[in-house]
Amino acid sequence: MPVHPDQHFVTADWLSRHLDDPNVAIVDGSWHMPATARSGWTEYLAGHIPRAVFFDVDAIADTTSSLPHMLPPPEAFAKAMGALGIGDKQTIVIYDSYGLRSAARVWWTFRVMGAPDVVILDGGLPAWIAGQLPLEEGMPASIEQKTFNPSFKPAMVRGFEAVKAALGGDVQILDARSAGRFHGQEAEPRAGLRSGHMPGAISLPFGDVIEGERMKSSSDLRALFASRGVDIGKPIITSCGSGVTAAVLALALDVVGAPDVAIYDGSWTEWGGRSDAPVVSG
């Protein structure tokens, strides 16, 4: 496998030098909230990094669930990756159109499924474009079928009952939504959800770990977590609106070496819609 200098990120320059390397899989993981009226797929077709394939966060999911983009079963994920020409032995480079948002969710999904070498393009598509590097339109000319052997990591994901049981214990719950949504001062973007947060949760909007659409330095991240009273040595569950930006916090925690981090996959879309879920506001 190609050697990259960081276990979480590669630069646009590094990727440009490995564009033709068959051991490198390039993945566009762009995703947008429905209210933005933007389509990751449409934007991908209009221009993407050469050889990149599109990872549809909403389609590569558990389609039997009423909740959005829940993790798919490992077998379904493996089949989808094989069809996209992504193998588990490749270096998998993920990017999105913002810089660092949904790419973290795709990174986490690959990690949960056991991919040993998955990184994010530092600065995402904006950094690639700023470097005046080439773009490609439409679908890839051809995709060679690959084999992806999943090795599911259940410790990296939590469901409703596990999160509810964790309340009031030693597990820290970090909420990546805006402070207004956390405190119940802003309405949720999805209809029918209560406003507020889980009892004992800590507000840490995902944008606080990002600077210029790039992850902050590990020293700045450590200082940020400490300022919010987060002990990175203890178990942590991250949550958000629907499990996407919770992965930005999970990535930041991985950068600083937090040993026990999981994502609540249903996040507030599930929690705020259930009458048996305790909610605090203010």
Active-site residues: which are they?
240
At 208, list the tokens.
């606080």
At 133, list the tokens.
């590097």
Give the relative orientation of helices 102-112 and 246-255 as an angle to the nearest 10 degrees: 70
> Can you tell me the distance from the alpha carbon of 25 to that of 20, in angstroms, rounded to the nearest whole number?
10
At 282, list the tokens.
């203010």
Q: Which residues of 7-19 are buried (b: 16+ CB within 10 A; e: fewer)?
A: ebbbbbebbeebe
Element (H, E) at 261: strand 261-264
Residue 251: name the closest of 70, 117, 111, 153 by CA: 111
Q: How far is CA 87 from CA 67, 122, 205, in A?
A: 28, 22, 33
DSSP β-bridge partners for residue 121: 10
> Can you tell me the distance from the alpha carbon of 74 to that of 115, in angstroms, rounded to the nearest whole number?
12
